[in-house]
Amino acid sequence: MSLELAGVIPIAVTPFDDDGRVDEAAIATLVDVEARWGVHGLNVLGIMGEAHKLGETERRRVAELFCKAAAGRLPIVVGTSHGGTGVAVELSQAAEAAGAAAVMVAPPIGLRGDAAIVAHYRQVAAAIAIPIVVQDEPLTTGVLMSAELLARLATEIEACRYVKLEELPTPTKVTALRRLPGGDRLRIFAGANAMYFVEELARGAVGIMTGFAFPDVLVEIYDRFRRSDAVGAAAVYDRVASYIRYEGQPGIGLALRKEVLRRRGAIASAFVRPPGPRLDDVTRAELTAILDRLGLLTVKA
């Protein structure tokens, strides 16, 4: 699939059954539901996809299942980050063989030095023929990648055509990157739980990759912005901003998202593999209250 990635490409959850096994049937259901919601692709095996809790055989199988279920309807971006460059190469090759449109690669946790980071991406790029989404997420990786380094990656490595930008404050980094030589080659995706989506679009982002449980709302925001209706896009965002804030809570955000996706019929179980968050009764009641207050579950599933 040679199309340019753009728009709302959610970070998909990995569905498990209530015993913690990968729910293969639920993957097909999730893809079908996301497609009905109008998303422009899916990003699987990211942080929200609990890739770090899957064995390598499971990771390959999950990537294959998502690509098979999409059947060309949606481009699938597969997360292939790993602490070892060689394993990241193998996972990226497997993703390409499965039919992925691109891979998403974060630098290995704790990697230091621009030269080492460039070398990591260069080796992955040399092993595949599909694009790389550079995942700039220092909160998890502990790796700070400057705008200058991201522009260098885009200039020196043709495959590094996309970046998922999540170093806060993201809007100012979008602007800094776009002003750099080489930065204009990068197609920038927002992330950060959609907290700054409107501002990121206004500054030149081409879309968003995040785990928000109402991607259809993000699609409406994106579509309005693309129609030059920035005021309308902001109005849609403002209507759900308090929920975006609630769902994005550190520590329990994944559990909240899986529970909402379960309620919306996208997955059968909200199970999060341990170690992972669980929702207590008070939090469940809060979640129900904010969904009811905003009428979000009336959004067509």
Mind telling me the catalytic residues?
164
Structural contact between residues 30 and 43, judged by C-beta atoms closer than 8 angstroms:
no
Bridge partners of residue 8, in order along the sequence: 208
Positive or negative, the CA dihedral 43, 44, 49, 51 is: negative
Structure tokens at 108: 């290995």
Amino acid at 275: P
Structure tokens at 86: 């060689």
Longest C-alpha distance within the chain, in Å?
52
SS3 93: helix
Question: CA-to-CA distance for 233 and 49, rounded, in angstroms?
Answer: 28
